[in-house]
Structure 1
Amino acid sequence: MMKIKWPFLILAILATICIGSIGISIAEKSILGIVAAIIILCGIMGFGFTQKKKWREAGKLD
């Protein structure tokens, strides 16, 4: 049975929220909201990929 990697699940949920925020910002015609959501999304995704690499090198991933 596969164990849930909670940090990665939380990062995935946060990234999904950011993607939804982009859509909401588009609907509200908020350029600032769109840009902020994209920047935050890039940060979350970058952090997630960095952590995954560190976990893989440490042998923590299956």
Structure 2
Amino acid sequence: MNQVKWPLLIYAILAAASIIGIGIAISAKSIFGAIVSILAVVIVMGMGFKTKRKMRKNGEI
């Protein structure tokens, strides 16, 4: 039976929110907001991949 991997779901939601933030920042013509959102996407996705690799190594996935 498949169970929800909560940490991965949270990272996915945060990454999606950051991508939405990029669009909002562009529409508001905020270069600073767009840069912050891009950095957030990179950091959150990196943490998500790192967590997934750790979970695979521990046999949780």
Q: TM-score, normalised by structure 2?
A: 0.96
Q: TM-score, normalised by structure 1?
A: 0.95
Which runs of 5 or more structure 1 residues have no equivalent in the other structure? none
Please identify runs of 4+ aligned residues in structure 1 that moved more than 2 A: none
Structure 2: how far apart are the matches of 1:5 and 1:58?
Answer: 14
Over the matched positions of the two proteins, sequence identity in percent amounts to 46
Q: Deviations over 1:16-54 (max 9, x none)?
A: 100000000000000000000000110000000001001
Answer 1 or 2: higher relative contact order, Cα 8 Å, separation at least 6.
2
Which runs of 5 or more structure 2 residues have no equivalent in the other structure? none
